Protein backbone atom coordinates (compact mmCIF):
# COMPACT_ATOMS: atom_id res chain seq x y z
CA UNK A 1 0.00 0.00 0.00
CA UNK A 2 1.06 3.61 -0.34
CA UNK A 3 3.17 5.06 2.45
CA UNK A 4 0.38 7.59 3.05
CA UNK A 5 -2.18 4.78 3.41
CA UNK A 6 0.17 2.89 5.74
CA UNK A 7 0.51 6.04 7.87
CA UNK A 8 -3.28 6.49 7.88
CA UNK A 9 -3.74 2.92 9.11
CA UNK A 10 -0.99 3.33 11.71
CA UNK A 11 1.23 0.77 10.00
CA UNK A 12 4.00 3.30 9.43
CA UNK A 13 4.97 6.18 11.71
CA UNK A 14 4.63 9.76 10.67
CA UNK A 15 2.28 12.71 10.53
CA UNK A 16 1.39 14.52 7.32
CA UNK A 17 2.69 18.04 6.79
CA UNK A 18 0.06 20.65 7.72
CA UNK A 19 -2.20 17.96 9.13
CA UNK A 20 -3.23 16.63 5.71
CA UNK A 21 -5.58 13.66 5.76
CA UNK A 22 -6.04 10.72 3.44
CA UNK A 23 -9.47 9.12 3.33
CA UNK A 24 -8.68 6.57 0.62
CA UNK A 25 -6.53 3.51 1.23
CA UNK A 26 -4.45 2.97 -1.92
CA UNK A 27 -3.49 -0.63 -2.50
CA UNK A 28 -1.07 -1.84 -5.15
CA UNK A 29 -0.97 -5.47 -6.25
CA UNK A 30 2.50 -6.79 -5.56
CA UNK A 31 4.17 -9.67 -7.40
CA UNK A 32 7.55 -11.27 -7.15
CA UNK A 33 7.99 -10.89 -10.91
CA UNK A 34 6.84 -7.27 -10.86
CA UNK A 35 5.00 -5.32 -13.53
CA UNK A 36 5.36 -6.31 -17.19
CA UNK A 37 5.18 -2.65 -18.15
CA UNK A 38 8.32 -0.63 -18.69
CA UNK A 39 7.00 2.92 -18.52
CA UNK A 40 9.90 5.34 -18.58
CA UNK A 41 8.63 7.59 -15.78
CA UNK A 42 7.43 4.85 -13.42
CA UNK A 43 9.18 3.61 -10.31
CA UNK A 44 7.92 0.09 -11.01
CA UNK A 45 9.63 0.05 -14.41
CA UNK A 46 10.62 -3.51 -15.38
CA UNK A 47 14.18 -2.57 -16.32
CA UNK A 48 14.85 -0.63 -13.13
CA UNK A 49 17.23 -2.34 -10.72
CA UNK A 50 15.89 -3.95 -7.56
CA UNK A 51 13.13 -6.25 -6.38
CA UNK A 52 9.60 -5.15 -7.11
CA UNK A 53 8.67 -4.72 -3.46
CA UNK A 54 11.73 -2.57 -2.81
CA UNK A 55 11.05 -0.12 -5.61
CA UNK A 56 9.65 3.30 -4.81
CA UNK A 57 6.56 4.46 -6.66
CA UNK A 58 5.32 8.05 -6.80
CA UNK A 59 8.31 9.28 -4.74
CA UNK A 60 8.01 6.96 -1.75
CA UNK A 61 8.20 3.31 -0.77
CA UNK A 62 5.05 1.19 -0.98
CA UNK A 63 5.38 -1.12 2.01
CA UNK A 64 3.84 -4.58 1.68
CA UNK A 65 1.35 -5.99 4.20
CA UNK A 66 -0.88 -9.08 4.20
CA UNK A 67 -4.39 -8.28 2.94
CA UNK A 68 -5.95 -9.61 6.15
CA UNK A 69 -3.96 -7.10 8.19
CA UNK A 70 -4.98 -4.24 5.89
CA UNK A 71 -8.65 -5.23 6.18
CA UNK A 72 -8.46 -5.54 9.97
CA UNK A 73 -6.76 -2.15 10.31
CA UNK A 74 -9.26 -0.55 7.95
CA UNK A 75 -12.12 -1.98 10.03
CA UNK A 76 -10.54 -0.52 13.18
CA UNK A 77 -10.30 2.90 11.56
CA UNK A 78 -13.52 2.78 9.61
CA UNK A 79 -14.56 6.33 10.48
CA UNK A 80 -11.42 7.77 8.90
CA UNK A 81 -11.75 5.88 5.62
CA UNK A 82 -14.23 6.55 2.84
CA UNK A 83 -12.77 4.61 -0.03
CA UNK A 84 -10.31 1.89 -0.94
CA UNK A 85 -8.55 1.87 -4.30
CA UNK A 86 -6.92 -1.20 -5.82
CA UNK A 87 -4.20 -0.46 -8.37
CA UNK A 88 -3.59 -3.30 -10.77
CA UNK A 89 -0.21 -3.75 -12.38
CA UNK A 90 0.36 -5.36 -15.76
CA UNK A 91 0.61 -8.99 -14.73
CA UNK A 92 -1.09 -12.18 -15.88
CA UNK A 93 -2.75 -12.76 -12.50
CA UNK A 94 -3.78 -9.18 -11.88
CA UNK A 95 -7.40 -9.46 -13.06
CA UNK A 96 -8.20 -12.51 -10.92
CA UNK A 97 -6.35 -11.08 -7.95
CA UNK A 98 -8.11 -7.71 -8.23
CA UNK A 99 -11.46 -9.48 -8.25
CA UNK A 100 -10.44 -11.50 -5.20
CA UNK A 101 -9.26 -8.39 -3.33
CA UNK A 102 -12.48 -6.53 -4.23
CA UNK A 103 -14.55 -9.43 -2.88
CA UNK A 104 -12.49 -9.46 0.33
CA UNK A 105 -13.14 -5.75 0.87
CA UNK A 106 -16.94 -6.09 0.74
CA UNK A 107 -17.45 -6.54 4.53
CA UNK A 108 -15.84 -3.13 5.07
CA UNK A 109 -18.75 -1.49 3.19
CA UNK A 110 -16.51 1.18 1.69
CA UNK A 111 -16.52 2.65 -1.79
CA UNK A 112 -14.04 0.74 -3.92
CA UNK A 113 -12.19 2.03 -6.97
CA UNK A 114 -9.90 0.10 -9.27
CA UNK A 115 -7.08 1.59 -11.31
CA UNK A 116 -7.24 -0.86 -14.19
CA UNK A 117 -4.42 -2.22 -16.33
CA UNK A 118 -5.94 -2.08 -19.85
CA UNK A 119 -3.26 -4.34 -21.33
CA UNK A 120 -4.50 -7.32 -19.28
CA UNK A 121 -8.17 -6.56 -18.66
CA UNK A 122 -11.15 -6.80 -21.05
CA UNK A 123 -14.69 -5.48 -20.91
CA UNK A 124 -16.08 -8.71 -19.49
CA UNK A 125 -13.62 -8.58 -16.61
CA UNK A 126 -14.50 -4.94 -16.01
CA UNK A 127 -18.12 -6.09 -15.66
CA UNK A 128 -16.86 -8.66 -13.16
CA UNK A 129 -15.30 -5.87 -11.12
CA UNK A 130 -18.62 -4.05 -11.00
CA UNK A 131 -20.33 -7.26 -9.89
CA UNK A 132 -17.70 -7.55 -7.14
CA UNK A 133 -18.80 -4.18 -5.79
CA UNK A 134 -16.34 -1.85 -7.48
CA UNK A 135 -17.91 1.60 -7.91
CA UNK A 136 -15.36 3.48 -10.03
CA UNK A 137 -12.93 2.22 -12.65
CA UNK A 138 -10.00 4.36 -13.73
CA UNK A 139 -7.36 4.15 -16.42
CA UNK A 140 -3.94 5.79 -16.24
CA UNK A 141 -3.46 6.95 -19.80
CA UNK A 142 -0.86 9.33 -18.31
CA UNK A 143 0.55 10.72 -21.58
CA UNK A 144 -1.42 13.44 -23.35
CA UNK A 145 -0.46 12.45 -26.89
CA UNK A 146 -0.14 9.22 -28.83
CA UNK A 147 3.47 10.05 -29.66
CA UNK A 148 4.44 10.50 -25.99
CA UNK A 149 2.51 7.39 -25.02
CA UNK A 150 4.44 5.29 -27.57
CA UNK A 151 7.74 6.90 -26.56
CA UNK A 152 7.40 6.38 -22.82
CA UNK A 153 5.02 3.43 -22.48
CA UNK A 154 4.99 1.56 -25.78
CA UNK A 155 7.47 0.83 -28.53
CA UNK A 156 9.93 3.48 -27.35
CA UNK A 157 10.65 1.50 -24.17
CA UNK A 158 9.78 -1.95 -25.52
CA UNK A 159 6.67 -1.79 -23.38
CA UNK A 160 3.46 -3.74 -24.01
CA UNK A 161 0.98 -0.88 -23.80
CA UNK A 162 -1.09 0.47 -26.71
CA UNK A 163 -2.63 3.94 -26.90
CA UNK A 164 -5.79 2.70 -28.63
CA UNK A 165 -6.39 -0.01 -26.03
CA UNK A 166 -6.07 2.48 -23.17
CA UNK A 167 -8.72 4.77 -24.66
CA UNK A 168 -10.91 1.81 -25.52
CA UNK A 169 -10.63 0.61 -21.92
CA UNK A 170 -11.60 4.05 -20.61
CA UNK A 171 -14.68 3.92 -22.86
CA UNK A 172 -15.50 0.46 -21.52
CA UNK A 173 -15.16 1.76 -17.95
CA UNK A 174 -17.71 4.51 -18.72
CA UNK A 175 -20.06 1.92 -20.29
CA UNK A 176 -19.79 -0.46 -17.35
CA UNK A 177 -19.66 1.91 -14.38
CA UNK A 178 -21.58 4.84 -15.89
CA UNK A 179 -20.80 8.45 -16.79
CA UNK A 180 -18.90 10.15 -13.99
CA UNK A 181 -17.92 6.78 -12.52
CA UNK A 182 -14.79 6.37 -14.60
CA UNK A 183 -11.53 8.25 -14.13
CA UNK A 184 -8.50 8.98 -16.24
CA UNK A 185 -5.04 9.75 -14.85
CA UNK A 186 -3.02 12.25 -16.88
CA UNK A 187 0.52 13.38 -16.06
CA UNK A 188 1.35 17.00 -16.89
CA UNK A 189 4.93 17.66 -17.93
CA UNK A 190 5.92 14.60 -19.94
CA UNK A 191 6.75 16.79 -22.93
CA UNK A 192 3.31 17.80 -24.20
CA UNK A 193 2.31 21.42 -24.58
CA UNK A 194 -0.67 22.93 -22.81
CA UNK A 195 -2.87 22.90 -25.92
CA UNK A 196 -2.29 19.17 -26.30
CA UNK A 197 -3.09 18.48 -22.65
CA UNK A 198 -6.23 20.64 -22.75
CA UNK A 199 -7.37 18.73 -25.84
CA UNK A 200 -6.83 15.41 -24.08
CA UNK A 201 -8.68 16.60 -20.98
CA UNK A 202 -11.59 17.58 -23.23
CA UNK A 203 -11.53 14.15 -24.88
CA UNK A 204 -11.76 12.45 -21.47
CA UNK A 205 -14.63 14.71 -20.38
CA UNK A 206 -16.50 14.17 -23.66
CA UNK A 207 -16.18 10.43 -23.09
CA UNK A 208 -17.96 10.83 -19.73
CA UNK A 209 -14.97 10.26 -17.45
CA UNK A 210 -13.34 12.43 -14.77
CA UNK A 211 -9.80 13.74 -15.07
CA UNK A 212 -7.25 13.07 -12.32
CA UNK A 213 -4.20 15.24 -12.95
CA UNK A 214 -0.67 14.54 -11.74
CA UNK A 215 2.40 16.77 -12.00
CA UNK A 216 5.39 14.91 -13.42
CA UNK A 217 8.04 14.33 -10.77
CA UNK A 218 11.16 12.34 -11.73
CA UNK A 219 11.21 8.95 -10.06
CA UNK A 220 14.62 7.95 -8.77
CA UNK A 221 16.02 5.04 -10.77
CA UNK A 222 13.49 5.36 -13.61
CA UNK A 223 14.53 6.18 -17.18
CA UNK A 224 13.30 9.76 -16.69
CA UNK A 225 15.10 10.24 -13.36
CA UNK A 226 17.27 13.02 -14.78
CA UNK A 227 14.43 15.03 -16.20
CA UNK A 228 13.15 18.20 -14.49
CA UNK A 229 9.85 18.13 -12.62
CA UNK A 230 6.88 19.66 -14.40
CA UNK A 231 7.02 23.46 -14.49
CA UNK A 232 4.78 24.72 -11.67
CA UNK A 233 3.12 27.32 -13.89
CA UNK A 234 2.28 24.76 -16.55
CA UNK A 235 0.71 22.47 -13.95
CA UNK A 236 -1.32 25.29 -12.36
CA UNK A 237 -2.71 26.34 -15.74
CA UNK A 238 -3.63 22.75 -16.55
CA UNK A 239 -5.26 22.26 -13.12
CA UNK A 240 -7.35 25.36 -13.78
CA UNK A 241 -8.15 24.35 -17.37
CA UNK A 242 -9.15 20.87 -16.23
CA UNK A 243 -11.46 22.29 -13.55
CA UNK A 244 -13.04 24.84 -15.89
CA UNK A 245 -13.60 22.22 -18.61
CA UNK A 246 -15.03 19.66 -16.19
CA UNK A 247 -17.35 22.23 -14.61
CA UNK A 248 -18.56 23.29 -18.05
CA UNK A 249 -17.20 26.85 -17.77
CA UNK A 250 -15.15 26.42 -20.93
CA UNK A 251 -13.97 23.87 -23.46
CA UNK A 252 -10.61 23.17 -25.04
CA UNK A 253 -11.62 24.89 -28.27
CA UNK A 254 -12.54 28.09 -26.39
CA UNK A 255 -9.16 28.29 -24.64
CA UNK A 256 -6.56 30.43 -26.43
CA UNK A 257 -2.91 29.41 -26.69
CA UNK A 258 0.22 31.20 -27.89
CA UNK A 259 2.58 29.85 -30.54
CA UNK A 260 4.23 27.47 -28.08
CA UNK A 261 0.88 26.05 -26.99
CA UNK A 262 0.77 27.93 -23.64
CA UNK A 263 -2.59 29.14 -22.37
CA UNK A 264 -3.20 32.85 -22.90
CA UNK A 265 -6.93 32.92 -22.15
CA UNK A 266 -9.21 30.32 -20.57
CA UNK A 267 -12.26 31.50 -22.51
CA UNK A 268 -13.98 32.55 -19.28
CA UNK A 269 -14.55 36.08 -17.95
CA UNK A 270 -11.65 37.30 -15.82
CA UNK A 271 -13.78 37.91 -12.72
CA UNK A 272 -15.18 34.38 -12.89
CA UNK A 273 -11.70 32.91 -13.23
CA UNK A 274 -10.66 34.98 -10.21
CA UNK A 275 -13.50 33.51 -8.10
CA UNK A 276 -12.52 30.00 -9.15
CA UNK A 277 -8.83 30.59 -8.37
CA UNK A 278 -9.61 32.13 -4.96
CA UNK A 279 -11.66 29.05 -4.05
CA UNK A 280 -8.47 27.00 -4.30
CA UNK A 281 -10.46 23.95 -5.40
CA UNK A 282 -8.86 23.53 -8.87
CA UNK A 283 -5.47 23.18 -7.22
CA UNK A 284 -6.46 20.45 -4.80
CA UNK A 285 -5.70 16.82 -5.56
CA UNK A 286 -8.10 15.49 -8.17
CA UNK A 287 -9.29 11.98 -7.39
CA UNK A 288 -12.22 9.77 -6.50
CA UNK A 289 -14.73 11.31 -4.07
CA UNK A 290 -15.52 10.34 -0.50
CA UNK A 291 -18.78 9.84 1.34
CA UNK A 292 -19.29 13.53 1.88
CA UNK A 293 -16.01 14.86 0.54
CA UNK A 294 -15.14 16.27 -2.86
CA UNK A 295 -12.03 14.06 -2.91
CA UNK A 296 -11.20 11.05 -0.71
CA UNK A 297 -8.04 10.21 -2.60
CA UNK A 298 -6.02 13.24 -1.53
CA UNK A 299 -2.65 11.50 -2.15
CA UNK A 300 -0.77 13.85 0.23
CA UNK A 301 2.45 15.02 -1.44
CA UNK A 302 2.25 12.27 -4.03
CA UNK A 303 3.32 14.38 -7.00
CA UNK A 304 5.74 16.74 -5.35
CA UNK A 305 7.56 17.17 -2.03
CA UNK A 306 5.74 18.85 0.85
CA UNK A 307 8.01 21.85 0.38
CA UNK A 308 6.80 22.34 -3.20
CA UNK A 309 3.17 21.22 -3.21
CA UNK A 310 1.67 20.55 -6.62
CA UNK A 311 -1.66 18.91 -5.73
CA UNK A 312 -2.93 20.32 -2.44
CA UNK A 313 -4.33 17.61 -0.15
CA UNK A 314 -6.29 20.31 1.70
CA UNK A 315 -7.95 23.58 0.72
CA UNK A 316 -5.16 26.04 -0.11
CA UNK A 317 -5.03 29.01 2.27
CA UNK A 318 -4.50 32.65 1.31
CA UNK A 319 -0.71 32.27 1.25
CA UNK A 320 -1.02 29.20 -0.96
CA UNK A 321 -3.32 31.06 -3.36
CA UNK A 322 -0.83 33.93 -3.59
CA UNK A 323 1.92 31.41 -4.45
CA UNK A 324 -0.35 29.69 -7.00
CA UNK A 325 -1.07 33.03 -8.67
CA UNK A 326 2.65 33.77 -8.90
CA UNK A 327 3.34 30.32 -10.34
CA UNK A 328 0.56 30.67 -12.87
CA UNK A 329 2.02 33.85 -14.32
CA UNK A 330 0.20 36.30 -16.55
CA UNK A 331 -2.87 34.95 -18.26
CA UNK B 1 14.62 8.21 31.19
CA UNK B 2 10.95 9.06 30.71
CA UNK B 3 9.10 6.48 28.62
CA UNK B 4 6.15 8.22 26.99
CA UNK B 5 3.40 6.00 25.57
CA UNK B 6 0.20 6.54 23.61
CA UNK B 7 -2.12 3.60 23.07
CA UNK B 8 -0.89 0.05 23.05
CA UNK B 9 1.15 -0.06 19.85
CA UNK B 10 4.84 -0.82 20.17
CA UNK B 11 5.90 1.99 17.88
CA UNK B 12 3.95 4.56 19.90
CA UNK B 13 6.45 4.53 22.74
CA UNK B 14 9.07 7.21 22.95
CA UNK B 15 12.11 7.37 25.21
CA UNK B 16 12.90 10.89 26.40
CA UNK B 17 16.08 11.12 28.50
CA UNK B 18 15.23 13.14 31.59
CA UNK B 19 18.66 14.80 31.80
CA UNK B 20 18.10 16.45 28.37
CA UNK B 21 16.21 19.66 27.63
CA UNK B 22 13.69 19.94 24.77
CA UNK B 23 12.29 22.46 22.33
CA UNK B 24 8.57 22.09 23.00
CA UNK B 25 7.33 22.56 19.45
CA UNK B 26 9.98 21.06 17.19
CA UNK B 27 11.17 18.27 19.47
CA UNK B 28 14.82 19.23 19.33
CA UNK B 29 16.76 17.82 22.27
CA UNK B 30 19.61 19.64 23.97
CA UNK B 31 22.28 17.91 26.04
CA UNK B 32 24.73 19.92 28.12
CA UNK B 33 28.37 18.88 27.66
CA UNK B 34 31.26 20.78 29.26
CA UNK B 35 29.94 24.23 28.45
CA UNK B 36 28.65 23.22 25.04
CA UNK B 37 25.19 22.01 23.98
CA UNK B 38 24.70 19.05 21.66
CA UNK B 39 21.38 19.01 19.82
CA UNK B 40 19.32 16.54 17.81
CA UNK B 41 15.77 15.38 17.17
CA UNK B 42 13.90 13.64 19.99
CA UNK B 43 12.18 10.26 19.69
CA UNK B 44 8.72 11.72 19.13
CA UNK B 45 10.02 14.24 16.61
CA UNK B 46 11.64 11.62 14.42
CA UNK B 47 8.54 9.42 14.71
CA UNK B 48 6.21 12.23 13.67
CA UNK B 49 8.38 13.27 10.73
CA UNK B 50 8.65 9.74 9.36
CA UNK B 51 11.62 8.44 7.39
CA UNK B 52 13.84 11.48 6.92
CA UNK B 53 15.03 12.07 3.38
CA UNK B 54 16.65 15.49 3.66
CA UNK B 55 18.17 17.70 6.30
CA UNK B 56 19.71 21.16 6.09
CA UNK B 57 21.47 23.18 8.79
CA UNK B 58 23.22 26.50 9.04
CA UNK B 59 27.02 26.21 8.79
CA UNK B 60 29.63 26.25 11.54
CA UNK B 61 30.12 29.75 12.91
CA UNK B 62 26.55 30.93 12.41
CA UNK B 63 24.93 32.57 15.44
CA UNK B 64 21.52 31.11 16.17
CA UNK B 65 18.75 32.36 18.45
CA UNK B 66 16.43 30.47 20.76
CA UNK B 67 13.14 29.56 19.03
CA UNK B 68 14.57 30.38 15.61
CA UNK B 69 15.41 27.72 13.02
CA UNK B 70 18.93 26.35 12.73
CA UNK B 71 17.87 23.93 10.02
CA UNK B 72 15.02 21.93 8.60
CA UNK B 73 14.00 18.34 7.93
CA UNK B 74 12.02 16.72 5.17
CA UNK B 75 10.51 13.27 4.73
CA UNK B 76 8.21 11.96 2.01
CA UNK B 77 5.18 13.47 3.70
CA UNK B 78 6.48 16.17 6.02
CA UNK B 79 8.68 19.24 6.02
CA UNK B 80 9.42 21.41 9.01
CA UNK B 81 11.96 23.61 10.76
CA UNK B 82 14.29 22.62 13.58
CA UNK B 83 14.10 25.51 16.02
CA UNK B 84 16.79 25.86 18.59
CA UNK B 85 16.03 25.49 22.31
CA UNK B 86 18.88 27.89 23.10
CA UNK B 87 20.84 30.82 21.62
CA UNK B 88 24.50 30.49 20.70
CA UNK B 89 26.96 29.79 17.90
CA UNK B 90 27.23 26.58 15.91
CA UNK B 91 30.62 25.01 16.65
CA UNK B 92 30.19 21.76 14.79
CA UNK B 93 27.73 20.19 12.33
CA UNK B 94 27.38 16.43 12.13
CA UNK B 95 27.74 16.24 8.36
CA UNK B 96 27.42 12.46 8.39
CA UNK B 97 23.90 12.80 9.76
CA UNK B 98 23.00 15.82 7.63
CA UNK B 99 23.91 13.89 4.47
CA UNK B 100 22.28 10.68 5.75
CA UNK B 101 19.33 11.95 7.80
CA UNK B 102 17.74 8.48 7.94
CA UNK B 103 20.36 7.80 10.64
CA UNK B 104 18.22 9.93 12.95
CA UNK B 105 15.39 7.39 12.50
CA UNK B 106 17.80 4.61 13.45
CA UNK B 107 19.25 6.24 16.57
CA UNK B 108 17.98 9.73 17.26
CA UNK B 109 19.98 10.33 20.42
CA UNK B 110 23.24 8.86 19.15
CA UNK B 111 23.04 10.75 15.87
CA UNK B 112 23.25 14.35 17.00
CA UNK B 113 22.94 17.21 14.50
CA UNK B 114 24.76 20.32 15.77
CA UNK B 115 27.05 21.27 18.65
CA UNK B 116 26.46 24.81 19.93
CA UNK B 117 28.37 27.18 22.18
CA UNK B 118 25.59 28.81 24.23
CA UNK B 119 25.39 32.55 24.79
CA UNK B 120 22.73 32.81 27.51
CA UNK B 121 22.30 29.28 28.73
CA UNK B 122 20.78 29.76 32.16
CA UNK B 123 17.99 32.02 30.92
CA UNK B 124 17.33 29.85 27.85
CA UNK B 125 16.98 26.63 29.84
CA UNK B 126 14.50 28.10 32.32
CA UNK B 127 11.33 27.32 30.36
CA UNK B 128 12.40 24.07 28.67
CA UNK B 129 10.94 20.68 29.67
CA UNK B 130 13.48 18.81 31.79
CA UNK B 131 13.41 16.00 34.34
CA UNK B 132 10.91 13.17 34.35
CA UNK B 133 7.95 15.19 35.69
CA UNK B 134 8.55 18.16 33.41
CA UNK B 135 8.90 15.96 30.35
CA UNK B 136 5.78 13.93 31.19
CA UNK B 137 3.68 17.08 31.70
CA UNK B 138 4.85 18.59 28.41
CA UNK B 139 4.36 15.36 26.43
CA UNK B 140 0.89 14.78 27.87
CA UNK B 141 -0.11 18.20 26.62
CA UNK B 142 1.60 17.56 23.29
CA UNK B 143 -0.07 14.17 22.74
CA UNK B 144 -3.48 15.61 23.65
CA UNK B 145 -2.98 18.33 21.08
CA UNK B 146 -2.15 15.75 18.41
CA UNK B 147 -5.14 13.61 19.45
CA UNK B 148 -7.50 16.59 19.28
CA UNK B 149 -6.40 17.16 15.70
CA UNK B 150 -6.83 13.44 15.00
CA UNK B 151 -3.16 13.19 14.01
CA UNK B 152 -2.09 10.38 16.31
CA UNK B 153 -2.63 6.90 14.87
CA UNK B 154 -1.72 4.96 17.98
CA UNK B 155 -4.87 3.13 19.07
pLDDT tens digit sequence for B93-127: 999 999 999 999 999 999 999 999 999 999 999 99
| Distance of alpha carbon B26 from alpha carbon B107, whole angstroms | 17
With cut-offs at 50, 70 and 90, classify the pLDDT of residue B140.
very high
User: Contact B155/A10, CB-based, under 8 Å?
Assistant: yes
Task: Name the residue in chain B with its Cα closest to that of A57.
Answer: B76
With cut-offs at 50, 70 and 90, classify the pLDDT of residue B12.
confident
What pLDDT digit, counting tens, does each position of B75-84 carry?
999 999 999 9
Q: Alpha helices of B4-150 — where are they, by DSSP H?
A: 43-49, 95-99, 102-106, 121-125, 131-148
For position A301, which CATH number holds? 3.20.20.70
User: Contact A7/B150, CB-based, under 8 Å?
Assistant: no
Mean pLDDT of B131-154: 91
| Distance of alpha carbon B6 from alpha carbon B22, whole angstroms | 19
User: Contact B48/A7, CB-based, under 8 Å?
Assistant: no
Q: Say yes or no: A58 contacts chain B, CB-CB below 8 A.
A: no
User: Contact A307/B11, CB-based, under 8 Å?
Assistant: no
Q: Say yes or no: A69 contacts chain B, CB-CB below 8 A.
A: no
| Distance of alpha carbon A289 from alpha carbon B39, whole angstroms | 44
Q: What is the dihedral of CA A85, A90, A93, A98, to 10 degrees?
A: 10
Contacts of B55 in chain A (CB under 8 A): none
Identity of the residue in A10, A77, A300 whose CB atom sits nearest the CB atom of B77? A300
First to last CA, chain B: 24
Nearest C-alpha of chain A: how many angstroms from B117? 30
Instruction: List residues of B whose CB lies inside 8 A of any A CB.
Output: 9, 11, 47-51, 74-80, 146, 149-155
Tens digit of each residue's pLDDT, chain A (331 residues): 999 999 999 999 999 999 999 999 999 999 988 899 999 999 876 665 566 555 666 667 889 999 999 999 999 999 999 999 999 999 999 999 999 999 999 999 999 999 999 999 999 999 999 999 999 999 999 999 999 999 999 999 999 999 999 999 999 999 999 999 999 999 999 999 999 999 999 999 999 999 999 999 998 888 999 999 999 999 999 999 999 999 999 999 999 999 999 999 999 999 999 999 999 999 999 999 998 888 999 999 999 999 999 999 999 999 999 999 999 998 7
Nearest C-alpha of chain B: how many angstroms from A73? 10
| Predicted ipTM beyond 0.85 | no
Helix (H) or strand (E) holding A84: strand A83-87
The total domain count for chain A is 1
Domain assignments of chain B as residue spans, ordered by start: 2-148
User: Contact A13/B77, CB-based, under 8 Å?
Assistant: no
pLDDT score, position B10: 73
Question: Residue B94 CB: number of other CB atoms within 10 A?
Answer: 20
What's the domain range around A10? 3-328
Task: Name the residue in chain B with its Cα closest to that of A299.
Answer: B77
Contacts of B78 in chain A (CB under 8 A): 14-17, 306
pLDDT score, position A46: 64
User: Contact A14/B80, CB-based, under 8 Å?
Assistant: no
Task: Name the residue in chain A with its Cα closest to that of B52.
Answer: A14
pLDDT score, position A330: 82
- Say whether pLDDT at B9 is over 80: no
Q: Say yes or no: A16 contacts chain B, CB-CB below 8 A.
A: yes
First to last CA, chain A: 40
Nearest CA-CA partner of B101 in B25, B10, B40: B40
- Say whether pLDDT at B7 is over 80: no
| Distance of alpha carbon B115 from alpha carbon B61, whole angstroms | 11
pLDDT score, position B153: 78
Look at the domain B2-148 and name its fold: OB fold (Dihydrolipoamide Acetyltransferase, E2P) (2.40.50)
What pLDDT digit, counting tens, does each position of B21-30 carry?
999 999 999 9
Amino acid sequence: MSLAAAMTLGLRPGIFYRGAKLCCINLLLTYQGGCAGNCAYCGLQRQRQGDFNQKSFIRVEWPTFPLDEIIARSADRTAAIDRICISMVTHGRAVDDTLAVAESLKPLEKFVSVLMAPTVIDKEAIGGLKDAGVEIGSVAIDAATEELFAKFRGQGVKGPHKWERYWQCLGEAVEVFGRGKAGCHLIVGLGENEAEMAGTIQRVVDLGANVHLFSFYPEEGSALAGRSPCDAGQFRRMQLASYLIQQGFTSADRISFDGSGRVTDFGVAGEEVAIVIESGIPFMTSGCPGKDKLVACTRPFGDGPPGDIRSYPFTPNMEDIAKIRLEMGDI
Amino acid sequence: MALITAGSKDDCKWDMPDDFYYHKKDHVWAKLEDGLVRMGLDAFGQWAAGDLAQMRTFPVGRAIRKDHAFGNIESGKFIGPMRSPISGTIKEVNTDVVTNPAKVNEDNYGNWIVLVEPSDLEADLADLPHGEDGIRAWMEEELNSFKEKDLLNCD
